Amino acid sequence: MDSDLSTQDKKDLDKFIKFFALKTVQVIVQARLGEKICTRSSPSPTGSDWFNLAIKDIPEVTHEAKKILAGQLPGIGHSMCVEISLKTSEGDSMELETWCLEINEKCDKDIKVSYTVYDRLSVLLKSLLAVTRVTPAYKLSRKQGHDYVILYRIYFGEVQMRGLGEGFQTVRVGVVGTPVGTVTLSCAYRTNLALMSNRQFERSAPIMGIIVDHFVDPPCGSQRPANMGQPCNYRYPVHKATDDDDGEAFAGVQDSQEVCTTSFSTSPPSQCFCTLSPSPSKLSKALPLDNPQFPLVPGLVTHPLLSYQPAVLAGTPELCHTAANPSQTLHAGKEDGVLHPAQPYHGTEAHLTVEHMPNIPGSRGDNDIFSHSGEGRRSTSPSDLVETLNALTRKVGAFVNKPNARLSATMDLPFAAFAPRGLDSEDNDPMVHPPDSPSCMSPLQASLHSQGSDGSGQQDDFVMVDFRPAFSKDDLLPMDLGTFYREFQNPPQLGSVSLHISSQSMADDLVDSLPEKLAIYERNIDEFDAFVDMLQ
């Protein structure tokens, strides 16, 4: 079959397939960055946009894809696959989908390479753009952030779909027949998004039962796994892609390699793992002015999504990525345990409750909250917190009715030092029965007049305050305010206020003295008249 193909056509076809593979990886990865993509149309051909589509290249992605291809092309039995997975802040990961570019043996010898194959590959890329937005992983990728990140992995060889769980679905994006085989692009995506914890420590409750508030740090330290990654932030310069990009300057690769050497993990030789980390030298690099139509870059700059792993020499088989967010947590999704990038209000509410629980003695629902939060990132175990709560409830608060409690200055009681001593019953309660004499030394009095009083020894833990109530003079009445209040809170009634005595006496007086007074007034009536005349 190849002999029927001219040399030029064969060369062109190889080039088309190579760049189609590279663009496929770019489209898939960029669709999982979590940002909306926007590129501008250009009426004039730029000569650098393969398949007449404005698909900008992320240099690191291109570099890694080339490393995977290692000069070979996807062929029969050698598929190029892009695996998209999710990794939580707890270290759990889950494969979401696998995109597969493969070539089978079915050839179309009559098809024209120069335009028909090229045009159909362009249509297939457009289909890929559309389909990458409709698989379930797209919505997850749009909502990634502190709770989880989306990773990608490129590998060459046989398609691996075991990690997609049961009931995964497949969708065929499209096929393009060529003289050397039929190019097929397809996607297998997970349908069961329930994330189960694979960790070996403590409980085995589903991850989705955990509610952790990522705004509040655990009070007693973190239990996050040591290899928990952080979202990545990176900037990359926009390079103009050329038809032959072998000579393309790619300074960013060196930086990522330097960073990646510190985070390698083992991987099969045919796989390429890469961790994308920020390159300090690239962080502030401005966009080229000749490419203002690529607003994708600011979105890529700020978004912590992209992460992949470079070729690994040795290390742990776990995926790892270096990011910068110190507080990744996991949100609880719906109650059915399906992973959803749900709103964090559940976690916030629950964690705030946990946080404030020690301040509310006797609060309910402690055990409920812990059972709900299961394997969360708790710093204290449930038993520790319950014990703390019990200890708190034993304490006597200022407003707690504990009549039988023996009060002592050492108790955690506001103004306990000022309370009378030796009170066991209400009969001895000075609040009920004021003392007869002020001879009982109050702690305040002791502190004011003698530093060596008996009460001072018990008041070593307390700071004595010179208590001078307004208008009180200790020298006239040597008693404290409390005693003063108790003594004079029941003053005797005024005699004139007493109705039953005063009213009776006044009436009697009136009855008895009235006639005499009238007689006097009648005798002196002339004097009264003269007085009145004088006033007029």
Binding site for another protein (CB under 8 A): 36-46, 49, 52-54, 115, 120, 122-124, 126-127, 129-131, 133-135, 138-139, 142, 171-177, 293
Would the CA dihedral through 303, 309, 315, 319 be positive or negative?
positive
Cα(27)–Cα(39) distance, integer angstroms:
12
What does the buried/exposed string (b/e) look like for 195-223 if buried means 16 or more CB atoms within 10 Å of the residue's CB?
Answer: bebeeeeeeebbbbbbbbbbeeebeeeee
Q: How far is the CB of 463 from another protein (least distance, A)?
A: 59
110 vs 526, beta carbon nearer another protein: 110
Q: How far is the CB of 136 from another protein (least distance, A)?
A: 9
Q: How far is the CB of 138 from another protein (least distance, A)?
A: 7
170 vs 222, beta carbon nearer another protein: 170
Looking from the CA of 114 toward its CB, the CA atoms found within 13 Å total 4
Q: How far is the CB of 346 from another protein (least distance, A)?
A: 17
| In the block, residue with structure tokens 């309910």 | 364
Nearest to 364 by CA among 353, 380, 375: 353
34 vs 218, beta carbon nearer another protein: 34
Contact 203, 375 (CB under 8 A): yes
- 502 φ/ψ angles, rounded to the nearest 5 degrees: -70, -40
CB neighbourhood size of 312 (10 A): 23
Fill in the DSSP letter of residue 378. -
Can you read off the two tokens belonging to residue 276? 């994308």
Cα(397)–Cα(247) distance, integer angstroms:
77
Can you read off the two tokens belonging to residue 500? 């039953």
How far CA 367 is from CA of 236, 378, 381, 389, in Å, comes to 49, 14, 11, 12
Q: How far is the CB of 345 from another protein (least distance, A)?
A: 16
Q: How far is the CB of 145 from another protein (least distance, A)?
A: 17
135 vs 329, beta carbon nearer another protein: 135
Q: How far is the CB of 123 from another protein (least distance, A)?
A: 6
